[in-house]
Structure 1
Amino acid sequence: MDSDERIQAASKFLLQSPPGEINDVLNDVRNIISDDESLQTGILPALREYNLAQFITADVPGHQHQCIVSEAARVQAQGEEEDEERRDRFWDPRSRTSFRFDHLALEASEPEPIEPETEAEPFRLALENASLTYLAAHFHDGVTSVFPTQGNAERFVVQVVANKYNPSNFWSGRWRSEYIVNLAERTLEGKILVNVHYYEQGNVQLSTTHTVSLELPQTISAESAPASASKILALIETEESKYQTSLNAAYQEMSEKTFKGLRRALPMTRAKLDWEKVLGYKLGQELSASKGGFAAA
């Protein structure tokens, strides 16, 4: 396998990294490539794709909060062709700050002020405030970002991500949700993605996607931004609560039925078999049979 093929293989491994474990995967593939310079250059597209899809969070330079790094957060090029450096500039509407994001070090730098679109900002801000309230009530250490859509003052993207890493107990998990709020078409379209990895004496992953498609009530409008934003987040809360309940029910059913079916049945004695003594069990059985034969004679 040549260097390019190894880079391609490493990129595929990275794209399949469980939540919070990409550095572990990266360290493993470094041993395969054995060339850090070509590795960093070759896997950058895969790292960029992974980080944007997974809603990786970044500390906003000069501020005390985090924002989501995603495709919706990318700073759009204005007229000229986008170069590599500008391609990795993102923005946080909450602080009106743009920054350059290092996909390998996962760090934000080179902050610049950026002004949002005047027409879209009032409703975007209302959605952001409602999202922060929802986040504080339902997510531990979660992050939310709300973005306007360039050229469309009535279309917004609401994103939420929450991570829980517990390597000492061999599990990690990530919740992602994204919603497109379209006031003109009166629709709420979205998806919820859950990834959980459990790897104590094994390797089990759960990956689910749940889609949401709702019609917005007639009472929602840009003119009543705070009240309308709260109603939209109430719809999101209802959908996410229902999905969480369905996941809990599925886990309960698997625990009571599926997992029990996978377990090895106990022997007739209802005691666990000590496999280190299995030869002794067999020998004892033969001796008992022999004694029975002698008695019959």
Structure 2
Amino acid sequence: MADYEYTHVSDDEKLNIANHLLLSAPPGEIRDVAKDVTKLLPAGLLSDAKLRSAMHAYNTKNCVGVMAPEGTHRVIICKEGEVDPTHYLDTKTKKVWGFDHVTQELQAQDARDAADLFVLPAEPFRLAVHQALDDYAFTQFANQGAVAVYATSPQELAIVLSTERVNLRNYWSGRWKSQWTLNLETRVLTGAIDLHVHYYEDGNLQLQSHKSTEKTLTFHDASTVGAAVVQVIRDEEHVIHSNLEDMYINMSEETFKEMRRVMPVTQTKMEWSIHAHRTAKDLGQQK
């Protein structure tokens, strides 16, 4: 029997690996990953504080949308809306909610009015953009979408859109999020759209896509800024959809074709044309 050498892994290295696994968790699967990682590590190594810190990083990085206690809309957990590590702005109701990063739930008993945080000169523009994006998100994502718009300075808005589709019983999940910054003085909108899809029935496939963009908008005042922002976001999302469709076609016609292995007996590659093969059903009909 061959001798194997095992490299000792320190506790710090184990924690770094665990942290990487947690931060890389697919949409809707972070709590399952946390349970598995905890079982793999020595008892007590992943303390509650370390787990909570990793979950905080995951939730804010991925702009997780969480249903408000009243069930009327979703609140986005992100850096732009962070009052402190356990409290987040709700830009729709102008409240601050307490948030448990491990359970991913807003705390109904830990809420306060935050109207005093929405008094910057950019507030009329913020409201207009928020309303326009609420309507857009509903048409695109129905009740699964979340929108947040923050006035980060007198002349700047931060915009976040996020939605998740999670169906673990059928082995798939996905997240679509975008983050934007609008300079009201220069009228420049910059941002990025990120897509993460996981499919793991009879395999384990993940698709991640990122697209950055910068556009100069045309608007005159708060009454026209919302439509201008929505138009750019709609156009950029359409580009991603089109590119993904082209990629799927290419994968079917080219990528998977190139992955064919040489058959062991004939030493030739399988014929790619579907018409060159007869299914078991076809053969059965000829008996």
TM-score by length of 2: 0.82
SS in 2 for 1:139: helix
Counterpart selection for 1:23 from 31, 52, 58: 31
What does 1:1-297 align with in structure 2 at a 5 Å threshold? 1-35=9-43, 38-62=46-70, 64-75=72-83, 86-109=84-107, 110-115=110-115, 116-140=118-142, 141-149=144-152, 152-217=153-218, 220-221=219-220, 224-264=221-261, 265-266=269-270
Q: Distance in 2 between matches of 1:166 and 1:62?
A: 24
Distance 1:261 1:104, change over 3 A: same
Distance 1:216 1:270, change over 3 A: closer
* 1:261 shift after superposition: 2.3
One-letter code aligned to 1:39: S
CA contact (8 A) 2:65 2:163 kept: no
Number of matched residues? 256
User: What's the % identity of the aligned pairs?
Assistant: 30
Q: Label 1:270 to 1:123 Cα distance change in 2 as closer, same or farther (>3 A).
A: closer
For 1:67 and 1:172, the matched residues in 2 are separated by 20
State the Cα distance separating 1:37 from its structure 2 match: 8.1
- Is contact 1:175-1:194 (8 Å) kept? yes
What's the offset of the Cα at 1:62? 4.5
Instruction: Work out whether residues 155 and 181 of structure 1, in 8 Å CA contact, stay in contact via their aligned partners in 2.
Output: yes
Deviation per CA, 1:75-110: give whole Å up to 9, x if none.
Answer: 2xxxxxxxxxx4321111210110121111111121
The CA distance in 1 between the partners of 2:30 and 2:62, in whole Å, is: 11
Query: Is the CA contact (8 Å cut-off) linking 1:127 and 1:226 kept in structure 2?
Result: no
CA 209–45 in structure 1, closer or farther in 2 if over 3 Å, else same? same
Give the unaligned 5+ runs of structure 2: 1-8, 262-268, 280-287
Q: Which moved more, 1:44-53 or 1:163-172?
A: 163-172
Aligned partner of residue 95 in structure 1, secondary structure: coil
Judging changes above 3 Å, is the alpha-carbon distance between structure 1 residues 182 and 200 closer, same or farther for their aligned structure 2 residues? same
SS at match of 2:47: helix
Distance in 1 between the 2:165 and 2:136 partners? Answer: 18
Higher Rg of the two aligned structures? 1
Secondary structure of the residue that 1:184 maps to in structure 2? coil
**Deviations 1:142-177 (CA, angstroms, capped at 9, x unpaired):** 11111110xx22211111111112223322111011
Q: In 2, distance between residues paired with 1:127 and 1:271?
A: 56
Instruction: Say which is worse superposed, 182-191 or 224-233, in terms of deviation.
Output: 224-233
**CA RMSD in angstroms, aligned pairs only:** 2.2
Partner of 1:290: none
User: Per-residue CA shift, 1:55-82, capped at 9, x if unaligned?
Assistant: 112233446211111001112xxxxxxx
Report the 3-state secondary structure (helix = DSSP H, G, I; strand = E; otherwise coil) of the residue aligned with 2:203. coil
Deviations 1:163-204 (A, max 9, x none): 112223322111011111111122010000011111122211
Instruction: Classify the secondary structure of the residue corresponding to 2:155.
Output: strand
Task: Quote how far apart the aligned CAs of 1:42 are.
Answer: 1.8
Residue 271 (structure 1) shift: 6.7
Deviation at 1:118, TM superposition (A): 4.3
Question: In the aligned structure 2, how far is the partner of 1:205 from the partner of 1:190?
Answer: 23
